[in-house]
Amino acid sequence: MKQALIEKLTSKSATIGIVGLGYVGLPLMLRYVEVGYRVVGFDIDEAKVRMLNAGESYIKHIHAENILSARTNFEATSDFSRAAEVDALILCVPTPLNKTREPDLSFVISTTEALLPHLKKGQIISLESTTYPGTTEEELLPRIRARGYDVGQDMFLVFSPEREDPGNPNFTTRTIPKVCGGTTPACLEVGLALYGSVIDRVVPVSSTRAAELTKLLENIHRAVNIGLVNEMKIVADKMGIDIHEVIRAAATKPFGFVPYYPGPGLGGHCIPIDPFYLTWKAREFGVHTRFIELAGEVNSAMPDYVMGKLVNALNARQKSVNGSHILVLGIAYKKNVDDMRESPSVMLMEKLRDLGATISYCDPHIPVFPKMREHVFDLKSTPLNAESLSRADAVLLATDHDGFDYEVIRAHAKLIIDTRGRFAQPAAHIIKA
């Protein structure tokens, strides 16, 4: 059964099922279709299903023409019974934190439970959602076995973490190497066949647990280094030194230094969340991950640091936050994307609102503030021009989209709070934060 599935995968006669058609699942679907596979996409959001089947995109950096061209070999559905039609199921569902900052596997578990009645022998299931080491073996494997499948013989299970970087034109689904770990050696063989035809390089590891920890290490590495440079930003500011100038100079060293950049806080679906998956699991083994947690504390404090700089700058101009008009530039979590997950810009907006400020925002990628579970603003993006800039008591540069005209901002804003180091030349009305 293993060999038959490998042959279907390598000959591209297999049908691929992708569960979760968001920032990870949608590019993956396009890549499988591009090389000649038939793909069935599963999502519980009926609006997304309708849009995709109509050839429309709901992610800004994925163009509608790409969806349109894929329709000959792709269909979206919310009917999970159609899992019986596919040879591979790739799970790309969210793994957020709950209110107590502990791992929330509800999406992974509910998705698995919805698929189980429709599985058939000779399929491979790959989990791509970022999670703690042991999830695949502790949550998915027992559920599959309970349905009577012999994993490694008539059903195959792997973990292969997503590595998408939305909006980065230098790396694509095809060119980013893919780590893959199998529940058994046979599972790994099938996993390598699943990804080998669509990814330039697949990196095998010894187990699903190793693959799960690999993804966490990648993101914790970033979180810790961002925490370091955020702390250095505070030190440099006290000394009257521009940390961005220092980083640019240090980055000229051709070895032993990798530049990381400070900001108003961590955002996105990975860096603010993934460290907590490891710290939570580490406690099961009696390990206290002090280094990781300290970096988390530093990064979590950045919105308050920015607020302090803004409050002091307004106070120096004999203004209070209460009653001031603050224009926030950029509400996506990073530049040139429309993704707002865990965006520090939104946290800053809420803090400003709580202090009585009048808030407006400009983001060319997000024309209307979307509906969010925990954040509610009835706002639309305001045009960025001399009038809107001069009307604001302070302009808070939270996300430095390349589409902003920084010379216009410099010329017309009364006060600029620059959290991204975009304004290299000092000026009396520019405050680095």
CA distance 136 to 123: 16
Q: Above 80 in pLDDT, residue 372?
A: no
Q: Which domains does the chain have, with CATH numbers?
A: 2-206 (3.40.50.720), 243-432 (3.40.50.720)
Which pLDDT band holds residue 214 (cuts at 50, 70, 90)?
Answer: very high
Identify the active-site residue in 92, 180, 187, 270. 270
pLDDT confidence of residue 29: 96
> Where does residue 15 rank: exposed (0-12), middle (13-18), buried (19+ CB within 10 A)?
middle
Range with the poorest average pLDDT among 45-54, 61-70, 174-183, 265-274: 265-274
> Where does residue 323 rank: exposed (0-12), middle (13-18), buried (19+ CB within 10 A)?
exposed
Q: 178-182 and 155-159 as β-strands: parallel, antiparallel, unpaired?
A: antiparallel
Q: Above 80 in pLDDT, residue 373?
A: no
Residue of 203, 293, 292, 218 whose CA lies nearest to 258: 218
- pLDDT single digits (tens) 409-428: 999 999 999 999 999 999 99
* Chain-centroid distance, C-alpha 38: 27
Tokens at 302, concatenated: 């950045």
- pLDDT single digits (tens) 230-249: 999 999 999 999 999 999 99
Which pTM was predicted?
0.91
pLDDT confidence of residue 328: 98
Other Cβ atoms less than 10 A from the Cβ of 92: the count is: 26
Do residues 366 and 332 lie in contact, with contact meaning Cβ atoms separated by under 8 Å? yes
Do residues 269 and 341 lie in contact, with contact meaning Cβ atoms separated by under 8 Å? yes
- Mean pLDDT confidence for 354-376: 91
- Mean pLDDT confidence for 378-402: 97
- pLDDT single digits (tens) 280-319: 999 999 999 999 999 999 999 999 999 999 999 999 999 9
Residue-averaged pLDDT of the chain: 95
Angle between helices 302-316 and 290-300 (to 10 degrees): 30
Which pLDDT band holds residue 19 (cuts at 50, 70, 90)?
Answer: very high
- 270 is annotated as an active-site residue: yes
